[in-house]
Amino acid sequence: MKQEKIIVQEHSIISEAIRTIEMEAEAIHHLSSMINDDFVNAIDALYNCKGRIVISGIGKSAIIAQKIVATLNSTGTPSIFLHAADAIHGDLGMVQQQDLVIIISKSGESPEIKVLVPLIKNFNNPLISIVGNTTSFLARHSDFVINTTVEQEACPNNLAPTTSTTAQLVMGDVIAVCLMKKKGFNVADFAKLHPGGALGKKLYLRVSDLYPDNEKPEVRPDHLLKEVILEMTKKRMGVTAVTSEDGTVLGIITDGDLRRMLERNGLENIRAKDIMTKNPKAVLPSEMAVNALDIMRKSEITHLVVSENGKYLGMIHLHDLVKEGLI
What does the DSSP assignment read for 248-300?
BEEEEEEHHHHHHHHHHS-STT-BHHHHPEES--EE-TTSBHHHHHHHHHHHT
> How far, in Å, CA of 279 to CA of 252, rounded?
8
**Residue 155 to residue 107: CA distance in whole angstroms:** 16
Is 90 exceeded by the pLDDT of residue 64? yes
Q: How many CA atoms lie within 13 A of 100 on its CB side?
A: 22
- Smallest CA-to-CA distance from 84 within 126, 124, 135, 118 is with 118
* pLDDT given at position 3: 53
Return the closest-CA partner of residue 80 out of 64, 60, 66.
66
Among 107, 49, 108, 115, which residue's Cα sits nearest to residue 78?
49
Is the predicted pLDDT of residue 221 greater than 60, yes or no?
A: yes
Pick one of 1.10.3720.10, 3.40.50.970, 3.30.70.1380, 3.10.580.10 as the CATH number of 207-323. 3.10.580.10
3-state SS assignment for residue 55: strand
Residues 243, 252: Cα–Cα separation, whole Å: 9
Rounded mean pLDDT, 221-240: 86
> How many angstroms separate the CA atoms of 22 and 154, rounded?
9
- Look at residue 160 and tell me whether its pLDDT is greater than 90: no
pLDDT at 326 over 90: no
Q: Hey, which of 61-75, 194-208, 209-223, 249-263 has the most confident mean pLDDT?
A: 61-75
SS3 content of the chain, % helix, strand, coil (to 5): 50, 20, 30
Which whole number is the average pLDDT over 292-299?
88
User: Is the pLDDT assigned to residue 5 strictly greater than 60?
Assistant: no
For 99, the 3-state DSSP assignment is coil
Say which range, 15-29, 139-153, 174-188, has the weakest mean pLDDT. 174-188
- Lowest-pLDDT range of 50-54, 59-63, 321-325: 321-325
pLDDT above 70: residue 35: yes
Instruction: State the pLDDT at residue 199.
Output: 62
Q: Which residue has better confidence, 5 or 166?
A: 166
In this structure, are residues 100 and 53 in contact, taking their beta carbons and an 8 Å threshold? yes
Judge contact between 175 and 188, C-beta under 8 A: no
Write down the pLDDT at residue 107: 93
pLDDT for position 74: 86
For residues 199-220, give the mean pLDDT.
81
Q: Is the pLDDT of residue 194 over 70?
A: no
The arithmetic mean of pLDDT across residues 12-18, rounded, is 90
pLDDT for the residue numbered 166: 95
CATH superfamily for 2-185 is Glucose-6-phosphate isomerase like protein; domain 1 (3.40.50.10490)
pLDDT of residue 37: 92
Please state, rounded to an integer, the average pLDDT across all residues of the chain: 87
pLDDT at 198 (0 to 100): 60
pLDDT of 6 reads 53
Q: What pLDDT is attached to residue 235?
A: 85
Answer whether 108's CB lies under 8 Å from 137's CB. Answer: yes
* Integer Cα distance of 223 and 218 in angstroms: 10
Provide the pLDDT for residue 1: 46
How many of the other CB atoms lie within 10 Å of CB of 71? 19
Per-residue pLDDT, 262? 73
C-beta of residue 108 within 8 angstroms of C-beta of residue 136: yes
Give the range among 26-35, 121-130, 235-244, 318-327 with minimum mean pLDDT.
Answer: 318-327
Q: Is 317 annotated as a binding residue?
A: no
What's the pLDDT at 7?
53
Cβ-Cβ contacts under 8 Å for 312 (sequence gap 6 or more): 216, 218, 241, 243, 247, 248, 249, 305, 306
Could you give the CA distance from residue 141 to residue 122 in angstroms, rounded to a whole number? 12
- CATH 3.40.50.10490 domain range(s) in the chain: 2-185
What backbone phi and psi angles, to 5 degrees, belong to 5? -65, -40
Range in 79-88, 205-214, 293-302 with the lowest mean pLDDT:
205-214
Q: Report the phi/psi class of residue 250: left, alpha or beta, with left for phi > 0 and alpha for psi in -120 to 50.
A: alpha
Average pLDDT over residues 36-44: 95
